[in-house]
Amino acid sequence: MAQRSCDVCSVDPFNRRGANRRQVLRATGLGFVGSLVATLAGAGRSARAATLSGPPPEVDRLTITIVSDNYLFPFLPPLNLEGLKVARSPSGGSPGGTAPRDRLTGEWGLSMLASSIKGDQARSVLVDFGYTSEVLLNNMRLLGIKPAEINAMVLSHGHYDHFGGLTGFLAANRGSLKPDLPFFVGGEDCFCTRQIAGSGADFGTLDRRAVLDAGLKLMVEDGPAVVADHAVSSGKIALRSFETPLRPTQEKTGIIDGLGCDPAMVSPAKSTGTFVPDDFDHEIATSYVVKDRGLVVLTSCSHRGVVNSVRQAQEATGVQKLHAVIGGFHLVAPPLNEDYVRRTVLELKSMAPDYLVPAHCAGDLFYDIARLEMPGKVIRSAVGTRLSFGAA
């Protein structure tokens, strides 16, 4: 995966690649695009994710660890709530003491590790990879997360603050990840080139070749799919509520320098050869059904709307009981006004969640209104937070 430098992106030192390879791959013709995609598929490392059929898996226990997030609050207290234990990592150090600067780091972006138990079966799923590999790798080390134990990886959507740390993570763990480790994406749009709407600043491009070269098995979703035996990925999130999600980026189809998406595999309306508004049709949420508790939804960023994301998870799993919603809700104000944010809070309140854990791009206005409307149910996210559901 390669990302290009831009006003809002830092250059990851792990992402540097040789000029010769870029010259060899440089092309724009559709014939080359088809050849590239066919080559990748022929390597046996690309597949359509198996659609969920029948009842969703149910886990006994689930722990969500916030690996990377905008927020770093070293003095938040632990909590012991009904069906949920919240542990914090205020020092961020390893047992036995560390150097003063050896601490957890917060930055714009999001990465979460979902660890689940079902009987004697344990699974770990890494959802998103934050903005830089330096922060991702540092925090994983300090939190005791072992990459070799990861059973699947999920990228919620093709934004740099969710995939920026991926290439460095893959480079640092080359040879230690499980063979054919599944890597789930919601569609070809994930690989399109993006820029910031309005400014035109480059917002990076996910490198499919780097994912496959690392030995990962690329799983493209057509609908709800089982992830690592325990989780359910939402499939496409339908726009079914009042929500009108923000569109902060534009996307362009085509392959340039070996990077990009195949125009034949995205909506014809987007294959204009120019940048078009990003509709995030490829975004996915990840959910777990916790025994005797209900549905835990990892929204990641909610560009399709947090209410829409939750409803899609409910439809995908067939489980209406909402235990918790965790992740970015994309309710940053401005430009969204207070009435819109309040309506979203009230819509979520009507779903009767036991807990909300707004993170990343949820927005302070949402957090303030939600705390007033749902006292005792809103939990502050922070780097190093561990949320354990179904714990005895």
- The predicted-structure confidence for 154-186, as pLDDT tens digits, reads as follows 999 999 999 999 999 999 999 999 999 999 999
Residues 369, 375, 381, 382, CA torsion sign: positive
Q: Using alpha carbons only, how large is the chain's radius of gyration in Å?
A: 20
Q: Sketch the domain layout of the chain as residue ranges.
A: 25-389
For 129, half-sphere exposure in the C-beta direction (CA atoms, 13 angstrom radius) is 28
**What is the rounded CA–CA span in Å between residue 162 and residue 203?**
11
pLDDT of residue 383 exceeding 80, the answer is: yes
- pLDDT category at 392 given cuts 50, 70, 90 is low
126 is written with which tokens?
């890494």
Residues 6 or more apart from 21 whose CB is under 8 A from it?
258
> Hunting for tokens 């601490």 — which residue is that?
103
Q: Which amino acid is at 81?
A: L
For residue 92, the model assigns a pLDDT of 52
For 65, half-sphere exposure in the C-beta direction (CA atoms, 13 angstrom radius) is 21
Q: What are phi and psi of 244, to 5 degrees?
A: -125, 85
pLDDT of residue 95 exceeding 60, the answer is: no
Q: Is the peptide bond before 335 cis (omega within 30 degrees of 0)?
A: yes
CATH 3.40.50.1370 given to domain 25-389: no
Whether the Cβ atoms of residue 107 and residue 131 lie closer than 8 Å to each other:
yes
Answer with the residue of higher pLDDT: 207 or 25: 207
The model's pLDDT over 191-241, given as tens digits with 9 standing for 90+, comes to 999 999 999 999 999 999 999 999 999 999 879 999 999 999 999 999 999
338 is written with which tokens?
């207070």
Reduce the DSSP state of residue 276 to 3 states and report it.
strand
